[in-house]
Structure 1
């Protein structure tokens, strides 16, 4: 079972990973975006960590809901609303339970990913964060909570964006010039699942 402390560990691991990889995320974004993805997420997750310390939530769902709200209010560009929606919707789907199973988390994440797709008007293959999120959530659902499988699926999904032409977001303005670059949003999404596997130990 996954308790509140597990979810706090997950977000702490995500904050540390994004902090470490911010430069690489911004470098990827400078090729096909606004060159601010790393710094934006770094600021957002630092704010999440501070908010969780200030008012520790009492359930897994509340941890994610607070994190999502914080990202929406503190991150500029598209990534704040998209990541915020992912975490808030996932948290809402988990409800008030004190503990959740990995299968319940997979189901809640599926709802979160669907909300992201709706908000961004994107789907897998459009060279967005969905290219990492969808395979990760599918792997998590199929393997009954093997977080390493979700991590590996997300990483593979992010890598698979390299040959794609962007059809959504800022990168889509580049047309064929977006081909050959790894999508920064898919890359940061993969970090989120790397952190999840790390939290699971």
Structure 2
């Protein structure tokens, strides 16, 4: 995973979030504060502005830098949660991880997100995408970079009939049912972006 590859990963993630900012805002307007798209866009624009500097770092340090940027620039709950995810990955990953090490690191980072958000699977959050993606990643098999985006998209779709238990959407109770969770959607977009770069490698 050389500097150019890390730069392409950063660019793909940022481009995916920025391109879908209006969609994320619309999803969040239905069940939240309506700021998820704008906040995520702001955060990834900040990451993109430092992309060359971040990409020059070893992978663990690059992830920690991304996490810090998201914590500092993304408002609401999303900044701390995505920042925690990235920094957790940075702490758990070696500089040149195997697929098994990456899957284990993602599991540890997800535990950090659970603790930070006091949430778990089935509560209509980003975890409803991250947990099944990690499970599919850990199971390994062929064409991971092709299969994981489909797992993520299906998991995001599965949040539509859920009742929100955590976050701003939980205030709506039954009215949160019938809407996709914006954090689940942004997580799905990021999985798709990361896998697209691996598919091109």
- TM-score bracket for the superposition, by shorter chain length: over 0.9
CA shift for structure 1 position 149 = 2.0
Hey, which bits of structure 1, 4+ residues long, moved more than 6 A?
A: none
Distance, in Å, in 2 between the alignment partners of 1:33 and 1:79 is 12
CA shift for structure 1 position 11 = 2.1
CA shift for structure 1 position 49 = 1.3
User: In the TM superposition, what whole-angstrom CA distance separates every residue of 1:58-99 from its partner, at most 9, and x where no partner exists?
Assistant: 21111111100100011110000000000011011114x2x2
CA shift for structure 1 position 6 = 3.0
Q: How does 1:49-198 map to 2 (within 5 A)?
A: 49-54=48-53, 56-95=55-94, 97=95, 99-143=96-140, 146-198=144-196
Distance, in Å, in 2 between the alignment partners of 1:199 and 1:55 is 17
CA shift for structure 1 position 142 = 0.7
CA shift for structure 1 position 53 = 2.4
Distance, in Å, in 1 between the alignment partners of 2:55 and 2:82 is 20
Partner SS, residue 64 of structure 2: helix
Residues 173, 38 of structure 1: CA spacing in aligned structure 2 closer, same or farther, 3 A cutoff?
same
CA RMSD of aligned residues (A): 1.5
User: In the TM superposition, what whole-angstrom CA distance separates every residue of 1:35-66 from its partner, at most 9, and x where no partner exists?
Assistant: 11001000001101112324543211111111
The gaps in structure 1 that reach 5 residues or longer are none
Distance, in Å, in 2 between the alignment partners of 1:70 and 1:142 is 31
CA contact 1:64–1:91 (8 Å) conserved in 2: yes
The gaps in structure 2 that reach 5 residues or longer are none
CA shift for structure 1 position 4 = 4.6
